[in-house]
Amino acid sequence: MFETAESAEQVILLGVELPSSQNFAMSMLELASLAEAAGAQVVTSYRQKREKYDSQFLIGSGKLQEIAAMIEADEIDTVIVNNRLTPRQNSNLEQAFGIKVIDRMQLILDIFAMRARSHEGKLQVHLAQLKYMLPRLAGQGVMLSRQAGGIGSRGPGESQLELNRRSIRHQIADIEKQLKAVEKTRSVAREKRLEPTVFKIGLIGYTNAGKSTLMNCLTDNNQYEADELFATLDATTKQIYLKDQFQVTLTDTVGFIQDLPTELVAAFKSTLEESRHVDLLLHVIDASDPNHTEQEQVVLAILKDLNMLDIPRLAIYNKMDQTKDLVATVFPNICISLRDQGSRQTLRQQILDEIEQIFLPFSVRVSPDKLYKLYQLSKYALLDPYQFTEESQEISGFIAETNKWRLEEFYG
């Protein structure tokens, strides 16, 4: 523990709040969590209110001198800026401070580079980093004049960043070509899952809200979960039985965060596609987070950008064991603690209730010679409890519109 603390990169956080800034306080707290997730130790944080950003340094001259004095007095390795820096601002700040300066976008890209596990995920992160760095190659000061190290340096590497623009563009084209091949393979697998017979559920939510925990709760599987930002980056799809033979697919994807770099949204388009074609979204919310309302709005805003607001949603307020006062603002919802073993059946039943709302109710009379077909029907429909009789059987339940044709074999 002591050695880890000694080797941690010492950083200063800097944020500029404009009149138009939204959720600024939450954003700064989040920046600190992101820095810690990248392995840094936050020494202090600076904030400045301005009418507009300074075109040269983002901040005013007074704040610039104050931070420079702090850097000179302490052994600070890096300044992390909460706002997106232009290449010019980035270069000017590095020259003024004499140390590495990165912005929030580069920090998130860096964390993604650490957490990507699959080949596709690594390619996507590499592509996003190259696209982000391309306009910043010219005029890079401190960062390109010394050996790479610490946060903001993972992924492409220092030697690649020193290549000329043409070389970087060639790398981008090559990675995009590789991703197209990977996407073709993913599309084949997705088409199999997109059969109308299979009900599809997608997990969405702010990063670290508990999506992977929910996945494990429903599947009894060992999906990686941890109390850290962006613990899961690669889309994972599992099949589960919700009731009797009724089977659904459950997909876990990367967590959302405000000001997600546009380079990453584009790079992870194929991953986010996994949630575009679902029948029900489970919106996992960390009820214990004091900023959960703002986080909910961030998720909904991203869903709007992805044209996914029309997909039915169930809000799951998680970590209720860590909070006493909760005012739910997203409906319909269920309030549970996924760490509580008793929550598993409650969650399953609530999901089944939501599916019934999406499905169509039906009732058919089944003759004794066709009762054996009910087993097959139970794979695609939610059947109400029934008992056998000598004459015939009235069967009721709920079924998807696309599977309603399966009831025809019971007629006549």
The position carrying tokens 């739910």 is 328
More confident of the two residues 231 and 264: 264
Q: Is the pLDDT of residue 59 over 90?
A: yes
According to DSSP, the residues that pair with 17 across neighbouring strands are 49
Q: What is the reported pLDDT for 227?
A: 54
pLDDT band, residue 166 (cuts 50/70/90): confident
d(CA 113, CA 40): 15
Q: What is the reported pLDDT for 264?
A: 72
The string of pLDDT tens digits covering residues 94-125 is: 999 999 999 998 998 888 888 777 788 788 88
Q: Is the pLDDT of residue 167 over 80?
A: yes
251: enclosing H helix or E strand = strand 246-252
pLDDT band, residue 271 (cuts 50/70/90): low
What is the DSSP code string of 272-319? HHHHHT-SEEEEEEETTSTTHHHHHHHHHHHHHHTT-TTS-EEEEEE-
Q: Is the pLDDT of residue 165 over 90?
A: no
Q: Is the pLDDT of residue 5 over 50?
A: no
More confident of the two residues 394 and 263: 394
More confident of the two residues 3 and 403: 403
Check: CB of residue 95 under 8 Å from CB of residue 103. Answer: no
More confident of the two residues 78 and 365: 78
The position carrying tokens 């000329």 is 164
Q: Is the pLDDT of residue 312 over 80?
A: yes
Q: What is the mean pLDDT of residues 157-185?
A: 78
Q: What is the reported pLDDT for 142?
A: 45
114: enclosing H helix or E strand = helix 104-115
The string of pLDDT tens digits covering residues 194-233 is: 566 789 999 988 888 888 889 888 887 655 555 555 655 5
pLDDT band, residue 1 (cuts 50/70/90): very low
Q: What is the reported pLDDT for 371?
A: 83
d(CA 151, CA 108): 10
Q: What is the reported pLDDT for 307?
A: 84
Q: Is the pLDDT of residue 304 over 90?
A: no
Q: Is the pLDDT of residue 29 over 50?
A: yes
Bind-site residues: 205-212, 230-234, 252-255, 318-321, 337-339
Q: Is the pLDDT of residue 139 over 60?
A: no
Reported pTM: 0.79
Q: What is the reported pLDDT for 24?
A: 93
Q: What is the reported pLDDT for 283?
A: 95
Bind-site residues for GTP: 205-212, 230-234, 252-255, 318-321, 337-339
The string of pLDDT tens digits covering residues 329-385 is: 888 999 999 888 888 889 999 999 999 999 999 999 888 888 888 999 999 999 998
More confident of the two residues 66 and 130: 66
Q: What is the reported pLDDT for 219?
A: 83
**Residue 49's CB: how many other CB atoms inside 10 A?**
11
d(CA 204, CA 331): 15
Bind-site residues for Mg(2+): 212, 232
